Structure 1
């Protein structure tokens, strides 16, 4: 168990820090945002990378998908009429997406952001087990590449925290040591994995689909099947855990000397007691 002492030092650590969070609209992301704002109101800024057409839509997503949720009730009561001002001051929406280089931000934004960031939490992922291979690859593999590249531009970065999954270990049984995946490692003896080849395979398959004027439905089915086929070829049960393992390899390969922590949660259920017991979202 984390002692009271450790919990306090973590809370203290967040004072005056600027944190970039990807995936903040997700189930885990909003829990993190709420917790930081509740236990450390003196955090400097939470930069939330939000997929949206423009700044207004990004703000709306934060309103409805994050702070509008029931989990924020405790914080709302605590701040009363000052709640909106508090949120305005602490949360900075960034319109962007990890699938693009520099998240699709312009140079001015990028410059300012990189100078301010102390911690990056990369929680953005597509968690659908049977996602299209191209979509899963863009988010879970290339997204990590873009996060790493950005992290290297942050002069005062103290940590990059990457949220992976316990299931990168596939269907192995027994005790599984928590060791990072090396680039090209697979779960199936005799297979060798090359991330660039996988990327080319995706491009090539998409090109063929376009040449053959396939319907969107056919394209979706083909790309889903390709993901499962590639995952199983290398010993992973589905596209999600396979691309998450590739993402870990990407970090190991590109991190250089940035301090990295990879966490591998298993199944996440409801809140135990904070901010109140039993909050969950979606079908759990």
Structure 2
């Protein structure tokens, strides 16, 4: 089996002043630091889902520091705030954006809001926004997910499974696509004693489950049945992430894909 060398040697450390959260790094200082990984992202246009979440905010900061041309951030109105108001609030209040207050224009120039909802068909984005994404995006980072362990199977499927399918469909249309990156979880295959860095096919067809959810009228009866459907997974989150990984596998002959399985973040 061919060994793939990491893009950046694992034993290479960033200078302390360039570490995120150190409070000492500026964008100018980081721009002077060179690495193959940073060079890969430089000048690229990235479509990002989940950019307002725990990991997503880190991706926004890292991508901006790597010199991307633009971040196309999928976001929806929530709690009485428009997507633009939510973004402004996050940039102003989150400590991860260490240089925002000294150079806010740099962030606003780099981020373009794509008004949409990951749980809706076709992401509920406008035709104009869809055309812009398809004709410009080089990289897809799909990090959006319903991470609640006690969420209903219906809600989890709509967001984590069907949402992933909708993003994959758009990525398959992208004219300048370099890679589709799916942010999964280390627990997507927690039913196995040994988990390798490969795809595992679940016992449930994700397409059939999506259709079942869309057709189901009696939600109470469906939720009773869902306990049997997800076995032996411990919760709907891990189960639906496993199904989403299988969708990514199915699209691997259409788009270049990668799956990241991070552990629990706190």
TM-score by length of 2: 0.81
Partner of 2:218: 208
Partner of 2:99: 75
Q: Which has the higher helix share?
A: 1
CA distance in 1, matches of 2:87, 2:129: 19
Q: How does 1:117-128 map to 2 (within 5 A)?
A: 117-128=137-148
* Cα deviations by residue, 1:85-138 (Å, 9 ceiling, x for unpaired): 112210111110123343222222211221110101000001111211111001
For the 8 Å contact 2:206–2:244, the answer to whether it is kept is no
CA offset at residue 68 of structure 1? 2.6
Partner of 1:280: none
CA distance in 1, matches of 2:205, 2:149: 21
Partner of 1:279: none
Among residues 45, 55, 73, which one is paired with 1:18 in the alignment? 45
CA offset at residue 169 of structure 1? 1.3
Confirm or deny that 1:149 pairs with 2:173: no
In structure 2, relative to structure 1, the CA distance for the partners of 1:121 and 1:196 (3 Å cut) is closer
CA distance in 2, matches of 1:125, 1:107: 23
For the 8 Å contact 1:49–1:97, the answer to whether it is kept is yes
Structure 2 gaps of 5+ residues are: 1-9, 15-32
In structure 2, relative to structure 1, the CA distance for the partners of 1:2 and 1:23 (3 Å cut) is farther
CA offset at residue 63 of structure 1? 1.5
For the 8 Å contact 2:162–2:210, the answer to whether it is kept is no
Q: Which runs of 4+ in 1 moved over 4 A?
A: 4-7, 222-226
Partner of 1:45: 70
TM-score by length of 1: 0.76
Among residues 68, 79, 84, which one is paired with 1:59 in the alignment? 84
CA distance in 1, matches of 2:99, 2:163: 31
CA distance in 1, matches of 2:187, 2:136: 34
Among residues 196, 199, 208, which one is paired with 1:177 in the alignment? 196
In structure 2, relative to structure 1, the CA distance for the partners of 1:22 and 1:2 (3 Å cut) is farther
Partner of 1:246: 243
Among residues 69, 78, 92, which one is paired with 2:112 in the alignment? 92
In structure 2, relative to structure 1, the CA distance for the partners of 1:110 and 1:147 (3 Å cut) is same
Aligned length: 237
CA offset at residue 67 of structure 1? 4.6
For the 8 Å contact 1:164–1:264, the answer to whether it is kept is yes
In structure 2, relative to structure 1, the CA distance for the partners of 1:76 and 1:50 (3 Å cut) is same
CA distance in 2, matches of 1:70, 1:242: 33
CA offset at residue 57 of structure 1? 0.7
Structure 1 gaps of 5+ residues are: 187-192, 210-218, 269-283
Pick 1 or 2: higher relative contact order, CA cutoff 8 A, min separation 6. Answer: 1
Confirm or deny that 1:138 pairs with 2:158: yes
